[in-house]
Chains A and B, each alone.
Chain A
Amino acid sequence: DIQMTQSPSSLSASVGDRVTITCQASQDVGESLNWYQQKPGKAPKILIFDASNLETGVPLRFSGSGSGTDFTLTINSLQPEDFATYYCQQYENLFTFGPGTRVEVK
């Protein structure tokens, strides 16, 4: 099974900050990696697919990069609506979500 790790598990940031979240896969997943945002009580929302492609309608301040085992989600100029939990998810072999990164208000 492919295991996913994320760091940090949580972070505190202010509006306008640049935020970087990393995701690591236990084996090569190529670019078969998605990023989701989840707010309390809601279903996750797709942000980035295939490691670096922005889903339609997602603000340009979100970006993704990486391939193989190491991936990064960056949020440029954090906005109030971005405080949420972020999950990476691989689909190279079955499906696995990362443990999540909670972005909190500093």
Chain B
Amino acid sequence: QVTLKQSGPVLVKPTETLTLTCTVSGFSFTASRMGVSWIRQPPGKALEWLAHVFSSDERLYNASLKTRLTISRDTSRSQVVLTMTNMGSLDTATYFCARMADHTPHVFDYWGQGALVTVSS
């Protein structure tokens, strides 16, 4: 059974760094050739893709947020971590992690439960 379980703070202060963890089970990053993305959704707004790590550990970033984002993977812990620096009010959103295979079909097929992160002092 494939699951993605997210953990992290629900409240961060402006200028702080956000660290979110996605712990996966039911598949292997490398053996299954699976990557994981982080995607966010401000309240009442659209989905925005943030970053992706492939099974090879190659990483991709949203160009408009690239300077603030770091995605990393710990295979031994089955975890993918996203850090976002210099948080501001516009970063208040529900953050999701989602799995996508390196091979076709390239779909986000399993998602974490989502976590609302509020930026406020």
Using a CB–CB cutoff of 8 Å, the interface residues on chain A facing chain B are 1, 32, 34, 36, 38, 42-44, 46, 49-50, 53, 55, 87, 89, 91, 94-100
| Inter-chain contact A34/B52, CB cutoff 8 Å | no
Residues of B contacting A1 in the complex (Cβ-Cβ under 8 angstroms): 63-64
- With A87-B46, A95-B49 already in contact, the answer to whether A43 and B114 are too (CB < 8 A) is yes
Q: Which residue of A lies closest to B63 (CB)?
A: A1
| Inter-chain contact B109/A87, CB cutoff 8 Å | no
| Inter-chain contact A49/B105, CB cutoff 8 Å | yes
Top 5 closest pairs, chain A to chain B, by CB: A43-B111, A95-B49, A97-B47, A49-B105, A46-B107
| Inter-chain contact B108/A36, CB cutoff 8 Å | yes
Contact count band on B: 20 to 34
Residues of A contacting B20 in the complex (Cβ-Cβ under 8 angstroms): none
| Inter-chain contact A97/B46, CB cutoff 8 Å | yes
Between A and B, 18 residue pairs with Cβ closer than 8 Å are A1-B64, A32-B106, A34-B107, A36-B47, A43-B111, A46-B109, A49-B105, A49-B107, A50-B105, A53-B105, A87-B46, A89-B47, A89-B108, A94-B49, A97-B39, A97-B47, A97-B49, A100-B47
**In the complex, A89 Cα to B107 Cα: how many Å?**
9
Given B49, B100, B104, which contacts A96 in the complex, CB threshold below 8 Å? B49
Q: Give min CB distance, B77 to chain A, whole Å.
A: 22
**In the complex, A96 Cα to B49 Cα: how many Å?**
6
Other than the given A1-B64, A43-B96, A43-B98, 6 more pairs (CB < 8 A) read A36-B47, A49-B105, A50-B104, A50-B105, A96-B49, A98-B46
Residues of A contacting B64 in the complex (Cβ-Cβ under 8 angstroms): 1
Q: Give min CB distance, A15 to chain B, whole Å.
A: 25
| Inter-chain contact B106/A91, CB cutoff 8 Å | yes
Whether a CB of chain A sits under 8 angstroms from the CB of B113 is yes
**In the complex, A43 Cα to B97 Cα: how many Å?**
10
Residues of B contacting A44 in the complex (Cβ-Cβ under 8 angstroms): 47, 108, 111
